Amino acid sequence: MYMLFRSGLLFRSGLLLISLCLLTVMTTKAKQPKTYQLQYHATINPETEQAEVQITLPDAKLINSINFRLDEGFHSNVQGNGELELKDGRAIWQPPEKNARLSYKVNLNHERAPGEYDSIYQKDFAIFRGDDLIPPATVRTKPGAQSKATLTFELPQHWNSVNSGWPKKDDRHFVIDNPERRFDRPIGWFIAGKLGTRREKLNGTHIAISAPQNMGVKRMDLVSFILMNWPQLRELVDELPPRILIVTAPDPMWRGGLSGPNSLFFHADRPMVSENGTSTLLHELFHTLTGITDKGNDDWAVEGLAEYYAIEILYRSGGLSENRRKRVFDWLADWSKDITKLRGKSSTGQQTARAVILLEALAQEISEKTEGQKSLDDLTRALIKEKHIDLAMINDIVEDLIGTPADTLDSPLLK
């Protein structure tokens, strides 16, 4: 009787142990993220001056549909297997479960202003944005599904390299991993061709300055300027990205600066510091390092902070004297004296200048009301953590810093 009881107990214990093991395996599998391979392949075609892009999904069981937002200035000849609908500037793709492929062509020449390009193909190089190479998309997947993406380039025979702010597996093969997105896209700037590149590693951030060869671009000037200002940028921005690419080229590229995630473009003929004491390069670098954007009506804050710190970082680094700094702010105040409103979807140059004057007043108020214990830097660091900002958020953060609502932010300019 005892033996029978013992045998039954052992049997039930064994069943319990097996059940626990199965439950553990099932729980472990449930916790594992569901990933799918997403392969981008871009061939630069010198005959058509286009990039021929193919998107491949070896196994697409986790994907219900991908809805791409096309731009007729860039994208054409969209084809794919599975179900594909082209309608109202969208490409709605329901890929087959196996070996899904979507292809299209991307124009590499695009004028931002007459005769000035923000994307270009030339005999020995091309400059373009990954945002245009792979258009924005709304993706419907099985719950919890995430992509694991790569981007490979096929270049004209006489070209030697392609650079971006993404990590490379080899010279023409990039790993595209954005933790903030479940569908990884290679956003930011790219430059391909016969290139000259200068590289530095600063406190864990790999910086590359890349430009076409034999075009008189002063890459080392840019390297030295960034090295001079990097300590102050690092002190302001707590977490710096692992990589930054600065693309530069002369005419016929657009004569300005354009920031992007992990990268920026800066025209080769632009001064690093203008005669009025402002710096387009530092302005765009602030955008790239902080990633601050607005929620739709407060671009003044995004652009104002970038312009304010383009001046302030240069001053803190010793590039501007205290007297020169004052003259810069006086000039901005005079230039923007007729501005009566700051809020809106897009800040003009004069609105941005007036925003800088408001931020300088706010910096003084924060310092005075905290007896120097807090500064505008504390507000800026809080906004960097939030990324997507608006006036209400700025008001709340400043009130937390100084203990009362800020008089500066009660300005008629912000009504």
Report, as an integer, the average pLDDT of 251-280.
95
| pLDDT, position 25 | 45
| Cβ-contact 259, 285 below 8 angstroms | yes
350 φ/ψ sector (left φ>0, alpha ψ -120 to 50, else beta): alpha
pLDDT bucket at 180, cuts 50 / 70 / 90 = confident
For the stretch 327-360, pLDDT in tens is: 999 999 999 999 999 999 999 999 999 999 999 9
Average pLDDT of the chain to the nearest whole number: 92
Residue 200 has pLDDT above 60, yes or no: yes
Of residues 34 and 98, more confidently modeled: 98
Instruction: Give the 3-state DSSP-derived string for 235-294, with helices as H, strands as E and coil as C.
Output: HHCCCCCCEEEEEEECCCECCCEEEECCEEEEECCCCCCCCCCCCHHHHHHHHHHHCCEE
The dihedral formed by the CA atoms of 92, 97, 103 and 106, expressed in degrees to the nearest 10: 60
What element of type H or E holds 150?
A: strand 145-154
Residue 27 has pLDDT above 60, yes or no: no
Residue 29 has pLDDT above 50, yes or no: no
Instruction: Give the 3-state DSSP-derived string for 320-351, with helices as H, strands as E and coil as C.
Output: CCHHHHHHHHHHHHHHCCCCCCCCECCCCHHH
For the stretch 281-313, pLDDT in tens is: 999 999 999 999 999 999 999 999 999 999 999
This model's pTM is above 0.85: yes
| Cβ-contact 254, 113 below 8 angstroms | yes
| pLDDT, position 10 | 45
Q: What share of the chain has pLDDT > 70, as a percent?
A: 92
**Cα angle 64-70-71, degrees, rounded to a multiple of 5:** 170
CA distance 377 to 359: 11
Of residues 337 and 1, more confidently modeled: 337
| pLDDT, position 171 | 83
Residue 256 has pLDDT above 80, yes or no: yes
CA distance readout (Å), 390 to 309, 342, 372, 403: 19, 12, 25, 20
Pairing of strands 173-176, 145-154: antiparallel
